[in-house]
Amino acid sequence: MDQKRRQLLHAAGGLGVLGLLVAAGVISPAQAQAAAARPGFDARELDAALAALGAQDASASTELSLAAPDIAEVANAVSVEVKSRLPGTDRIAILVEKNPFPLAAVFSIPEGTQPEVITRLKMAQSADVVALVRAGGRFHIARKAVIVTISGCG
């Protein structure tokens, strides 16, 4: 998606919807502010997205499980599953290295919740899918190469 269009839609749509939700009493102003602050989603490169998330020094971990297909025939819906066995996992992010905007999703994991997510992603081309987990205030990372036969991002 065009960067300017993305920014306009994000600003206009997000502010309008958040304003209505606050006015209706569905969410508090603090919740609206938290929803609007989404660092990393506008980054155009993987390293920039990791830096925006504060994870530029993430270390590889065998305590993470990242499952994705070796070959994705339908790049519009690539199934990805991330599981963490790290105690204190409170955030899971999924990035796609060569997508126009690498940060695909960020999930907050409430305390006492099983730290795992399953989702579907769009992939622009063959690339590494990256799972980023924050546990105990430290970031951990796992990668999986996925070959795309037909692009899903344009």
Per residue of the chain (154 residues), give pLDDT as tens. Answer: 456 655 555 555 555 565 666 677 766 666 666 555 678 999 999 999 999 999 999 999 999 999 999 999 888 999 999 999 999 999 999 999 999 999 999 999 999 999 999 999 999 999 999 999 999 999 999 999 999 987 666 5
Contact 23, 15 (CB under 8 A): no
Cα(129)–Cα(99) distance, integer angstroms: 10
Per-position DSSP letters for 64-101, written without gaps between them: EEEE--SEES-TTSEEEEEEE-STTEEEEEEEETTSSS
Give phi and psi for 61, each to the nearest 5. -140, 135
Contact 18, 32 (CB under 8 A): yes
One of 3.40.50.11400, 1.10.10.60, 2.60.40.2470, 2.170.120.12 is the CATH number of 43-148, namely 2.60.40.2470
Structure tokens at 21: 């939700």
What is the model's pTM? 0.76
Query: How do the domains of the chain map onto residue ranges?
Result: 1-37, 43-148
